[in-house]
Amino acid sequence: MAKKPRKMTAEDRRTIERIMRYIKKYIHLVVLSIIFAAITVVLTLYIPVLTGDAVDTIVGKGEVDWIHLFGTLKLMCILIVLTALSQWLMNHINNVVTFRVVEDIRTKAFNHIEVLPVSYLDKHPAGDLTSRIIADIDQFSQGLLMGFTQLFTGVLTILGTLAFMFSIEPRITVLVIVLTPLSFVVASLIAKTTYSLFRRQSESRGEITAFTEEMLGNLKVVKAFSHEEKAEAQFERINATLSEYSFKATFVSSLVNPSTRCINAIVYAAVGVSGAVLAIHALVTVGELVSFLSYANQYTKPFNEISGVVTELQNAIASATRVFEIIDEKPLAPDAEGAAVLGADEELEGKVDIEHLWFSYDKSKELLTDINIHVKPGETVAIVGPTGCGKSTLINLLMRFYEPDKGSIRVDGHDNREVTRESLRNNFGMVLQETWLKSTTIRRNISYGKPDATMEEVIAAAKKAHCDGFIRRLPQGYDTVLSEDGGSLSQGQKQLLCIARLMLRLPPMLILDEATSSIDTRTELHIQQAFDQMMEGRTTFIVAHRLSTIRNADLILVLKDGNIIEQGRHEELLARGGFYSTLYNSQFAAS
């Protein structure tokens, strides 16, 4: 049973309208392109007239009007050069418009990702977002460029050809017009089925990009757990799906051109036969018949091009829709009107009060329930507990990566939601277990939070973080360019660079989330000394699994199942013999 042709949906129309709004910015260039397209078409269509005229100057053997013939050929050469120049200018303008529109959309999409909430980024694979920003927009640009380059000239060629054919012989022109709908019907029946296939192709392409990025980014883990065969099987499954959709989309779209060419051949044959009959009865000249056959060929050619353009535009719309889905995502709620700038009037003390805090990622399952914490300025607070108890979630809420469902977090008496996010985060310094480094020099990585730092300040911070030694042993020292995510540096070395980054720019409050998890014990002792100096007078939150690093904390919060089940100093919690004591003793059972 034949598949029902897909009709343009309201979503498609909205996508086209949005594309047109981006194009509207360059309407002056579009108009100029149309003008050059019209010049190209008119000159191209006038050449067959001259060709027919040249044929008619050759009456017979020894009966050639050489003066008229050479004059006609000279004019044809001039028009051919002007046509080529006009076409080049049209194509150049089309390229400019296309790539400026693509640049605007890609910039808009990337900038929008920057303001999307962390919750969205947590739920969508980075590979899929990368595929939309790069592959889908590239696919969209190809369709848009074909639309500009071939659609304008195709439509103008059809209209211009009809006008010239009417001026030569109206009866044959009517025959051509009567046969034309066959080409439209065949093209539309095939082209309408391609959109859903191209949409699925784009989605599968995004899925395979995300999977490939995930596997390559964690290749050592894959090898360590002998997961290669399963990864290969999963890749083959995704790849097979992509191949299936790509084959179907390509196969169906490839039917358009030969089908329309078949119809066009019928039209050309009809013109040839009917024109020959009229020429026999001296109703048209041989030159006019030659011109008419040339027009018949030129008339049918745009239908082939337009059918290809329609297919590409279907693909472009499918790709653009995926990009616009990102742009349409609800951005992070802006700062409250009149939000205060934390630390603008006076230096921040670092007092933190968390009252009746409730939060969950999945609203059907509670995570943090009725959390109450009061931290004095300069205190060190350690957060411990089993995996998944909500330690990192509490840090995310402190930094306003997520908003609490209920309750409040106050810094120096200011509700987090009533101050600007930028000022709040500028007053926190973070070192996480997961390191992040840019593809740039070591110096720029360390000075990421303080771009105007001098070289002396960078070196001083590196020495405090005990990474100056290995940096100087690198080929270009501090000017060594790191590849993506640190390249050949060990995990411990990358973490030391992140610690140096924090030591260069010390804000009033610190967050250390397993900050020394990848560092050897000897270096950790030195780092801990530097941390002790750094934490002096600063409110510090430490997330730790190694409980030996938090014995000197002013307050230890023990989380379990989203609740604070114990809190106090190290000695107090040990003396109680509760959950903390069990955790601590389990780590030091041998001693």
Given this model, what pLDDT does residue 591 score? 46
The pLDDT of residue 146 is above 80: no
CB 512 within 8 A of CB 452: no
**Same domain, yes or no: 379 and 309:** no
* 236-273 confidence digits (pLDDT tens): 888 888 888 888 887 877 776 677 777 777 777 877 78
Q: Is residue 262 part of a domain?
A: yes
* 381-421 confidence digits (pLDDT tens): 988 888 778 888 888 888 888 888 888 999 888 888 888 88
Q: Is residue 9 part of a domain?
A: no
SS3 171: helix
CB 393 within 8 A of CB 367: yes
Name the band, by pLDDT with cuts 50, 70 and 90, for residue 64.
low
More confident of the two residues 168 and 453: 453
Q: What is the average pLDDT across 499-520?
A: 79
Q: What is the average pLDDT across 452-466?
A: 89
Tokens of 566: 């114990």
> 89-103, 446-460, 474-488: lowest mean pLDDT where?
474-488
Q: What is the average pLDDT across 17-21?
A: 86
Which stretch, 126-130, 223-227, 284-288, 391-395, has highest mean pLDDT?
Answer: 391-395
**Same domain, yes or no: 58 and 126:** yes
**Nearest-10 crossing angle of helices 228-254, 170-191:** 160
**Same domain, yes or no: 155 and 52:** yes
Bridge partners, residue 559, by sequence: 564
Name the band, by pLDDT with cuts 50, 70 and 90, for residue 192.
low
Q: Is residue 403 part of a domain?
A: yes
**Same domain, yes or no: 310 and 438:** no
SS3 557: strand
Q: Is residue 258 part of a domain?
A: yes
More confident of the two residues 541 and 583: 541
The pLDDT of residue 300 is above 80: no
Q: Is residue 208 part of a domain?
A: no
Average pLDDT, the chain: 81
Task: Tell the residue number behind the tokens 């008619």, with chain if given.
Answer: 56
CB 154 within 8 A of CB 115: no
Name the band, by pLDDT with cuts 50, 70 and 90, for residue 1.
very low
Percent of the residues in the chain that have a pLDDT greater than 90, as a whole number: 3
Task: Tell the residue number behind the tokens 């992140």, with chain if given.
Answer: 498
**Same domain, yes or no: 367 and 490:** yes
**581 burial via Cβ count (<10 Å: 0-12, 13-18, 19+):** middle
Name the band, by pLDDT with cuts 50, 70 and 90, for residue 488.
confident
**Same domain, yes or no: 298 and 366:** no
**475 burial via Cβ count (<10 Å: 0-12, 13-18, 19+):** exposed
CB 33 within 8 A of CB 90: yes
Measure Cα distances from 362 to 355, 366, 479, 564 in Å: 21, 7, 45, 20
The pLDDT of residue 85 is above 90: yes
Q: Are strands 555-560 and 380-384 parallel, antiparallel or unpaired?
A: parallel
The pLDDT of residue 184 is above 50: yes
Q: State how many domains the chain has.
A: 2
**Same domain, yes or no: 298 and 395:** no
The pLDDT of residue 52 is above 60: yes
Given this model, what pLDDT does residue 81 score? 92
Range of the domain at 506: 352-587
Q: Which of 296, 328, 360 is the last residue of a domain?
A: 328
Helix (H) or strand (E) run with residue 370 in it: strand 368-375
CATH number at residue 256: 1.20.1560.10
DSSP 420-450: -HHHHHHTEEEE-SS----SSBHHHHHTTT-
SS (H, E, C) 274-298: HHHHHHHCCCCCHHHHHHHHHHHHH
> 114-128, 238-252, 517-531: lowest mean pLDDT where?
517-531
The pLDDT of residue 588 is above 70: no
Q: Is residue 572 part of a domain?
A: yes
Q: Which of 295, 328, 361 is the last residue of a domain?
A: 328
Q: What is the average pLDDT across 280-303?
A: 74
Stated length of the chain: 591
CB 356 within 8 A of CB 337: no
Contacts of 162 (CB under 8 A, 6+ apart): 173, 176, 177, 299
Nearest to 584 by CA among 563, 541, 553: 553
Q: Which of 269, 296, 328 is the last residue of a domain?
A: 328
Name the band, by pLDDT with cuts 50, 70 and 90, for residue 163.
confident
Given this model, what pLDDT does residue 61 score? 54
The pLDDT of residue 108 is above 60: yes
Query: DSSP label at 389?
Result: S
**Same domain, yes or no: 452 and 582:** yes
**Same domain, yes or no: 139 and 175:** yes
Q: Is residue 251 part of a domain?
A: yes
The pLDDT of residue 437 is above 80: yes
**Same domain, yes or no: 384 and 306:** no
**Same domain, yes or no: 358 and 451:** yes
Given this model, what pLDDT does residue 195 score? 65
Name the band, by pLDDT with cuts 50, 70 and 90, for residue 67.
confident
Q: Is residue 224 part of a domain?
A: no
Q: What is the CA radius of gyration of the chain?
A: 35
Helix (H) or strand (E) run with residue 374 in it: strand 368-375
**Same domain, yes or no: 445 and 574:** yes
Would you tell me how many other CB atoms lie within 10 Å of the CB of residue 535? Answer: 20
d(CA 466, CA 341): 34
Sheet holding 509-513, edge to edge: 428-431, 509-513, 539-543, 380-384, 555-560, 563-568
DSSP 533-556: HHHTTSEEEEE-S-GGGGTT-SEE
Given this model, what pLDDT does residue 2 score? 32
Given this model, what pLDDT does residue 262 score? 78
